[in-house]
Amino acid sequence: RDSGEQFAFQAEVTRLMDIIIHSLYSNKDIFLRELISNASDALDKIRFLSLTDKSVLGDGDTANLDIKIWLDPASKVLYIRDRGIGMTKDDLIKNLGTIAKSGTSAFLEQMQKGGDMNLIGQFGVGFYSVYLVADYVEVVSKHNDDAQYIWSSTADGSFAISEDTENEPLGRGTLIKIHLKEEAQEYGTEAKLKELVQRYSEFINFPIYLQTEKEVEVPVEEEPEEEAAKEDDKEEEGKEDEEEEEGAEDDEEETKEEEEKPKATRKEKKLDWELLNDNKAIWLRKPSDVTEEEYQKFYKAVSKDYTDALTYSHFRAEGDVEFRSILYIPSFSPYDFYDKYYEKAQHGLKLYVRRVFISDDMKELIPRYLSFVKGIVDSDTLPLNVSREMLQQEAALKTIKKKVVRKVLDMIRKMAETEVKCKDMEEKGETEDKPTEKECGQYAKFWEQFGRAIKLGIIEDTTNRNRLAKLLRFQTSKSGDKLTTLDEYIGRMKEGQKSIYYLAGTSKEEVAGSPFVEQLLRKGYEVIYFTDVLDEYVMGHLLDYDDRKFSNASKEDLKLTDKDEVEKKKDKELKEQFKDLTKWWKKVVDDSKLQGVKVSNRLATTPCIVVTGKYGNSANMERIMRAQAF
Ligand code: ADP
Ligand code: MG
């Protein structure tokens, strides 16, 4: 055929495809998961549009929202067809090659660092994984707004697009023709495909059919051969595949019953569509009927992650607003979670209304700092036949969001409490009813990955600030190598101690050795060491905890304890004694840079120190602001 208009792939896409097609990565299976996931996304899109305009579905076969997979063993071509939204010519050009997604370079970087190919879906470039198994791919697509087009490429830096004049009309949707490479011939067998499709389609909410070949026994009639053959032909034309099969079985039974000596039969191969998933939504099932393994499999299907979730919660909310939900906390933070935190769309939770997928990017469903949470929310209360914009205005969404946040914070709190309990039991040497090692270690893993999200939450979510503060972990002058909590700090406070002392800096060593904390440490006060750039921002929002004020050790107004009369008198004398020195000092230093010079007893061995005014930014904060970390 005329190869059509030629396009060059965007440079990074070319690099990506080059790596994929030459990859020795052994787990090539993932291509099927990615293609099925794309088909399912496309079906979700057309189903969503059909809510407000039924005509988009078309008539007859086109309205069947399904996925079909078949194989041509002779030519070693694998076909995947969906009746999703399809792609216009423009979509094909943009989505499959000329525009690099933000994940493209990030994924390339990961691969260079030896990252796992399995991550590809998370970076939004899953389609290209088809080149793990193919050396030539054709994408035939029909969108309601355009003619049918073919995209094709051998991953050589360019692709071709032409109007399709050779394939059957698709009606609507996309057909991917995968020409299997020599070393990927294993995907050219029915058994392998069946195993894979079953594995990856279990939680796809559309029926997935695989064309399979069945062996059926057909009686050999004693009539003249020719006539029998004619009749067979007739039947095949008029009947559906399934009926035929039943007919054949019936015949067989009759034969057995009626005659003692079985009639001669012959074996025939017949192609049939076999449904491979039961596509019943997992969240509609009772939690007690769903196994841990199923939850983890479903997690992988909704999250594009390939490692198990850290923890999850399946629940049903009742009352004015009803919904079902399964929420997951991943084991690892998404690669770009803290990067450009404020600019990115929030992918995470999938919103369904009465089993119909609506969106996976609704900030009305979960706050930004928790957008690492994956899973689904399916509500019967929300209206189905409205636009996304109208849906976003729904008051019920606010209630759902509130409940989802509560549930997520509950999941996190439980892990945190288990950790504290384990620590306590270890200290006391208790073993009875001790949580498992895995349970004991869960929160530490969570904190490592999502501690910063909790801190961002303290800044952003005033309603839950106190709940979030309980989840904070940090090092202190008394915590040794371990992390500690605010409650534990308070439990160790000295008699008469009113404030929670902290100091922020770039490392524990720097902060611990700082003159700012000398006196505090000498007097036995515990000081929190904040070493993350976010910490001081957080403290700017979290002014107190459990009625104790936070006190920054680098600020001017640091008061250790109430002084008695003797101490006050001594202070006064010292002030007098050094009056000339402080005056002189103020004169030699530029006035505009110095607010004042004071005699103080906050130091132990260091002779003098520059502190920040009560309302000014601390030196650490200035350093951060200069670096423009956030
Ligand atoms: P992602 O699915 O994360 O967006 P992919 O690389 O898998 O990334 O797919 C790129 C884009 O190509 C999709 O976002 C979609 O717009 C388009 N696409 C891929 N497969 C299909 C399909 N079967 N039907 C319609 N559009 C598709
Ligand atoms: Mg995809």
- In Å, how far are 320, 431, 451, 458 from 443, measured between CA atoms? 33, 19, 10, 18
Angle among Cα 288, 290, 292 to the nearest 5 degrees reads 105
**Which residue bears the tokens 């079953």?**
198
Q: What integer pLDDT is reported at residue 242 of this predicted model?
A: 43
User: How would DSSP label each residue in 204-239?
Assistant: -SS-EEEEEEEEEEEE--SS-HHHHHHHHHHHHHHS
As a whole number, mean pLDDT of residues 242-271 equals 60
CA of 355 to the centre of ligand 1 (A): 22
Q: What is the ipTM of this complex?
A: 0.99
Q: What integer pLDDT is reported at residue 241 of this predicted model?
A: 45
237 or 428, which is more confident: 428
H-only helix segments in 53-96? 89-93
pLDDT tier at 187 (50, 70, 90 boundaries)? Answer: very high
What distance in Å separates the CA atoms of residue 3 and residue 120, rounded to the nearest whole number? 29
C-beta of residue 52 within 8 angstroms of C-beta of residue 8: no
Q: Nearest-CA neighbor of 300 among 192, 203, 207?
A: 203
CA 561 to chain centre: 48
Whether residue 562 is predicted with pLDDT greater than 70 in this model: the reply is no
C-beta of residue 276 within 8 angstroms of C-beta of residue 198: yes
> Of all helices (H) and strands (E), which one includes residue 445?
helix 437-460
444 or 267, which is more confident: 444
**Atom 27, ligand 1: which residue's CA is nearest?**
38
Least confident of 56-65, 111-120, 461-470, 488-497: 111-120
As a whole number, mean pLDDT of residues 592-613 equals 73
- Count other Cβ atoms within 10 Å, centred on residue 68: 19
The three-class DSSP label of residue 362 is coil
| Percent of the chain surpassing pLDDT 70 | 89
Give the burial class of 299: count Cβ atoms within 10 A of its Cβ; 0-12 exposed, 13-18 middle, 19 or more buried. Answer: buried
CA of 38 to the centre of ligand 1 (A): 5
As a whole number, mean pLDDT of residues 12-32 equals 91
**Atom 9, ligand 1: which residue's CA is nearest?**
127
Q: What integer pLDDT is reported at residue 588 of this predicted model?
A: 79
The residue type found at 94 is K
**Which residue bears the tokens 């559309």?**
206
- The residue to mutate among 38, 96, 335, having the most atoms of ligand 1 within 8 angstroms of its beta carbon, is 38
CA of 565 to the centre of ligand 2 (A): 73
pLDDT (tens digit, 9 = 90+) per residue, 439-457?
999 999 999 999 999 999 9
The three-class DSSP label of residue 464 is coil
Q: What integer pLDDT is reported at residue 133 of this predicted model?
A: 96
C-beta of residue 96 within 8 angstroms of C-beta of residue 108: no
**Which residue bears the tokens 């209206």?**
383
pLDDT tier at 557 (50, 70, 90 boundaries)? Answer: low
Angle among Cα 177, 350, 314 to the nearest 5 degrees reads 120
**Atom 12, ligand 1: which residue's CA is nearest?**
95
- Count other Cβ atoms within 10 Å, centred on residue 140: 25
pLDDT tier at 627 (50, 70, 90 boundaries)? Answer: low
pLDDT tier at 343 (50, 70, 90 boundaries)? Answer: confident
Q: Which residues line ligand 1 (CB under 6 A)?
A: 34, 38-39, 41-42, 82, 84-87, 95-96, 124-127, 174
As a whole number, mean pLDDT of residues 7-12 equals 96
Written as six digits, the tokens of 428 are 């006391």
Angle among Cα 556, 561, 567 to the nearest 5 degrees reads 95
C-beta of residue 274 within 8 angstroms of C-beta of residue 286: no
Q: Between the ranges 23-27, 538-542, 571-575, where is the mean pLDDT highest?
A: 538-542
CA of 213 to the centre of ligand 1 (A): 30
Whether residue 249 is predicted with pLDDT greater than 70 in this model: the reply is no
Whether residue 391 is predicted with pLDDT greater than 90 in this model: the reply is no
What distance in Å separates the CA atoms of residue 219 and residue 259, rounded to the nearest whole number? 13
Residues annotated within the binding site for ATP are 34, 38, 82, 87, 95, 101-103, 122-127, 174, 388
Q: Between the ranges 3-7, 76-80, 122-126, 530-534, where is the mean pLDDT highest?
A: 76-80
C-beta of residue 360 within 8 angstroms of C-beta of residue 348: yes
C-beta of residue 79 within 8 angstroms of C-beta of residue 71: yes
- In Å, how far are 231, 427, 448 from 441, measured between CA atoms? 71, 16, 11
**Which residue bears the tokens 């000295």?**
494
pLDDT (tens digit, 9 = 90+) per residue, 523-533?
899 999 999 98
- In Å, how far are 172, 281, 287, 354, 517 from 357, measured between CA atoms? 19, 11, 21, 8, 55
Whether residue 188 is predicted with pLDDT greater than 50 in this model: the reply is yes
- Count other Cβ atoms within 10 Å, centred on residue 171: 18
CA 124 to chain centre: 11
Mean predicted lDDT score pLDDT of the chain = 87
Q: What integer pLDDT is reported at residue 388 of this predicted model?
A: 81
Whether residue 234 is predicted with pLDDT greater than 80 in this model: the reply is no
What distance in Å separates the CA atoms of residue 619 and residue 506, rounded to the nearest whole number? 11
Q: What integer pLDDT is reported at residue 225 of this predicted model?
A: 53
